[in-house]
Amino acid sequence: MLVDLFGWRSVFYVNLPFGILLIFAAVRLLPRPADPDKKQIPDPLGTLLVALAVGATPLGVTEGGTWGWWDARTLACLVGVNNAGVSGVVRGERRSLDEMSVETLRSTLETNFVGAFALTHALLPALRTAGGRVVNVTSALATFARTTGRGPAGPADLIPYRASKAALNMTSVLLADQLREWGVTVCAVSPGYVATDMNNFAGSKTVQEGARTIVRFATLAPEELPDRAFVTEEGVVPW
């Protein structure tokens, strides 16, 4: 009700008295010292910090825009890493092409592709302002070079996952071209076969090893980043 009447700033005005109340309670509820002539008070600095935190946090959240915390130049200092990933496969089960559902395909695309694009699109003003970096975490399973090579292409129930990552790969190439003039770099990075919940922890790499690959390309100097390439720990691989 207070928010409806006075806006979110009212949360600050409510919490500040609450912080003062905490100070009063800390003083009153401390155990009495054995020597009545020796006064005991709480740590004044710690108590003050608690009170300020309780009162100032909502203010910072609500007034951050005024202070420039959400300014595009501030946000552009961050590197966008699109790491969303679901396989669309039920753990421990294999499904034939006939057993697959359109809903599984749709939900996998929503997470792996649409979600990544939506986040990047929302950050476009910030990325353009200071020249940011977008790292799309993908998979070698989504490359045509691997899919069209010798041997079977892979199980049918991985179609949603591989198709969604292939869409992300193409988007990475097109975004890199579209955002080049603003100094924004975009890359598609595969961390390799990492042991995660998605593959029932069967991967040959640890999460830390996979993360190192992503961080490497997220922090690489723009002139050292391969242009519109699919990169892995080993370097550039064919699309």
What distance in Å separates the CA atoms of residue 217 and residue 232, rounded to the nearest whole number? 9
What distance in Å separates the CA atoms of residue 46 and residue 116, rounded to the nearest whole number? 42
Whether 13 sits among the annotated catalytic residues: the reply is no
Backbone φ and ψ for 236, nearest 5 degrees, come out as -75, 135
Q: Where are the beta strands (DSSP E) in the chain?
A: 80-82, 133-137, 185-189, 230-232, 235-237
Beta carbons of 188 and 169 less than 8 angstroms apart: yes
Q: To which residue do tokens 């809903």 refer? A: 103
What distance in Å separates the CA atoms of residue 206 and residue 196, rounded to the nearest whole number? 8
Q: Which of 12, 161, 217, 230 is catalytic?
A: 161
Burial class (CB in 10 A: 0-12, 13-18, 19+), 139: buried
What distance in Å separates the CA atoms of residue 145 and residue 166, rounded to the nearest whole number? 12
Beta carbons of 236 and 229 less than 8 angstroms apart: yes
Q: For the stretch 223-238, what's the b/e string if a residue is b when 16 or more beta carbons lie within 10 angstroms of its beta carbon?
A: eebeebbbbbbeeeee
| Encoded tokens for 232 | 């892995």
SS3 85: coil
Q: Which residues are catalytic?
A: 161
